[in-house]
Structure 1
Amino acid sequence: MLSLTLTGLNLKNPLMLAAGIMGTTGDSLKRMALAGAGAVVTKSIGTEPRSGHSNPSMVEVDCGYLNAMGLPNPSYKNFQDEIDRAREGEVPVIASIFGGCSLDFSEIAKSLNADAFELNVSCPHAHGYGAEIGTDHALVEDITHAVKTAVNVPVWVKLTPNVTDIKGIGLAAQHGGADAVVAINTVRGMAIDIESGYPILGNKFGGLSGRAIKPVAIKCVYDLYEVLDIPVIGVGGATDWKDAVEFIMAGAKAVQIGSAVGNNINIFDDISSCMEAFLEEKEWTLDDIYGMAHEI
């Protein structure tokens, strides 16, 4: 009842592990697949190894989490074995990749064997990468086009909410040939220690994730659904089955879950079973609720 086809990939349910959570090793990705995720997304991988920002790099706040990891990763040259290991979970494995230009992105994509690629043009706290690229329509279109012409698998573009109009960025990705967009990455935020007056994070500011950003993500998904011809994948603050249903009603074809995994490793199975019961009670299907909020 929950199975679907998304950009040519067969998913047993519309729930995915979001990039950056349990995505550094093949074993952790496999664990999430076996725990019920319909697909898994790796940690963002770049051209060269990065250690990331100095600690503290993550802090819990009242409304979620602030993180400024700084895109730590072993580089694509040392990551194919992890993707191969993750495939033992028998769900699609999507490689999240980042770079400073279209050549970086295409180099990584051509070198990795994954079921799809998610282009990270939205990380809010890494200088020269992520949102510094993803706020430029021309760069987003160019990078998307470069990767799309380099590979024969689906290409998704993960968008930043830290723009005045996310629809324009989504259209740029679509013009570049994206098969889907992912909305959203974290929202820029900051926390200060009042005893010392210093910013808590080593990078001073970071990205806010967790339940607080769900309304922002829902609105972004809703707006993108209205203007795009390609699927939107929702992410940001989903913690239970009601959140997943809300994302789909807003126009998300699938929903990624990140921060909430830290509190419940079985969250994918929990949400799937509750969603299925809800749909059965209402005598609805996934297609029935997909974009339902736009019919009002």
Structure 2
Amino acid sequence: MSNTPDLSVSFAGLTLQTPLVLLSGCVGFGEEYTRVEGWDNRDIGAVILKGTTVEPRMGNAPHRVYETPSGMLNAIGLQNPGARYVVEHILPGLPHHETQFWANANGTSPEEYAEVARIFDDSPVTAIEINISCPNVKAGGVHFGNDPCMAARVVEAMRPMTKKPLITKLSPNSADIAETARLVIEAGSDGLSVINTLVGMAVDIEKRKPVIDNISGGLSGPAIKPVALWKIHQTRAIAAKQSIPILGQGGITCARDAIEFAVVGSDAIGIGTGLFYDPLMCGKLLDGLSEYLQRHGLASYSELVGSLVTKNG
């Protein structure tokens, strides 16, 4: 009998071969990392495709990306070819037999989000992430994520349009992330992504201008990890009460980071900016995670999830 821990996980009715999920915006439309020598899709539970809208978008003007201490600012602005193009021309060429692919829906109104859900419902994606918290577009996005009632309206609009699991991406910039979690779950969300990027900016001191043309952008990377852990801890009780899984994310670059996220309540682990540091980090992360589980006598990743010990028990 094998002593190798079980790294498969159940998430929103789906079975993922590992807890690792590649995050939207970091791997394009799922084909970018297949060109990296040594890449193996079997290390991945799912890939979330780049944020998609009903109509094509050109995105923001450059500069759109800027490296910061222990992180990165980005303000791409949801550049994408439109949902129908993705379904008709991109999805057919992806290796669906190797891993799962999830859509990432965006819009400027609940009705637009609903239309994206309708388009992706008739496609091979196995789930749809709802990006209600994108901080680098001027309409929609973060405005929905920071208003719990508006966030719920988006989920309510999408829910009748698809039978696929809906996973709502929550904003750390919300005044009450737990209340947002409660309302989107009541509206029909099958899972939560916690967290999206923080809002930040950088300044060129010689020109005395913002580095990012959009002025602000989304801050990701190790710098936001403590915030992400706290926000997952805040939402865990609400999600667990309704048996709603959490995709934890924000600054994960190694097995130790992933273990911390699992302990505070991440049913799956989102990998994003860390891939820019090390494109082959996923295999190393899984090896480290497996070694930790064996050392602590745990038979599966799922046994680690939500095992945080506090003074209150």
**Which range, TM-score by smaller chain?**
over 0.9
Match of 1:12 in 2: 17
Match of 1:28 in 2: 32
1:27 Cα deviation from its structure 2 partner? 2.3
Which residue of 2 is the match for residue 267 of structure 1?
281
Cα distance, 1:133 vs. partner? Answer: 1.3
1:248 to 244, 250, 262: 262
Structure 1 stretches of 4+ moved >3 Å = 29-33
Partner of 1:72 in structure 2? Answer: 79
Q: How many residues align?
A: 295
Structure 1 SS opposite 2:137: coil
Which residue does 1:176 correspond to in 2?
Answer: 187
CA contact (8 A) 2:77 2:137 kept: yes
TM-score, normalised via structure 1 length: 0.95
Answer whether contact 2:23 2:270 (CA < 8 A) is retained. Answer: yes
**Which region of structure 1 is more displaced relative to structure 2, 265-274 or 244-253?**
265-274
Alpha-carbon shift at residue 128 of structure 1 (Å): 1.1
d(CA) in 1 for partners of 2:7 and 2:294? 11
Distance in 2, matches of 1:30 and 1:111, equals: 26
Output one character per residue of 1:145-170: Cα deviation in whole Å (capped at 9) or x when no partner: 22121111100000110112110111
Amino acid at match of 2:172: P
Residue correspondence of structure 1 range 221-260 to structure 2 within 5 A: 221-228=232-239, 229=242, 230-260=244-274
Letter in 1 for 2:94: A
Alpha-carbon RMSD:
1.5
Q: What secondary structure is seen at the aligned counterpart in 2 of 1:178? A: coil
What amino acid sits opposite 1:122 in the alignment? S
For residue 134 of structure 1, report the CA deviation from its aligned partner: 1.4
Unaligned runs of 5+ residues in structure 1 are none
Return the match for 2:46 from 9, 29, 39: 39
Identify unmatched segments of 5+ residues in structure 2: 1-5
For residues 50-90 of structure 1, the C-alpha deviation after alignment (integer angstroms, 9 at most, x for no partner) is 11111110010112101111111111121013223224352
Give the partner amino acid of 1:190.
M
Match for residue 116 of structure 2?
Answer: 108
Report how far residue 35 of structure 1 moved.
6.3
Report SS of the residue matched to 1:292: coil
Q: Distance in 2 between matches of 1:39 and 1:202?
A: 32
Q: 2:292 aligned to 257, 270, 278, which one?
A: 278
Q: How big is each residue's C-alpha offset from its partner over 1:142-201, in whole Å with a ceiling of 9 and x where there is no partner? A: 211221211111000001101121101111110111000101111010110111111101
2: CA distance between counterparts of 1:76 and 1:6? 24
TM-score by length of 2: 0.90
Deviation for aligned residue 1:100? 1.3
Tell me if structure 2 keeps the 8 A contact 1:30–1:87.
no
- Identify which of 175, 190, 200 aligns with 1:164: 175
Residue 56, structure 1, aligned to residue 63, structure 2: yes
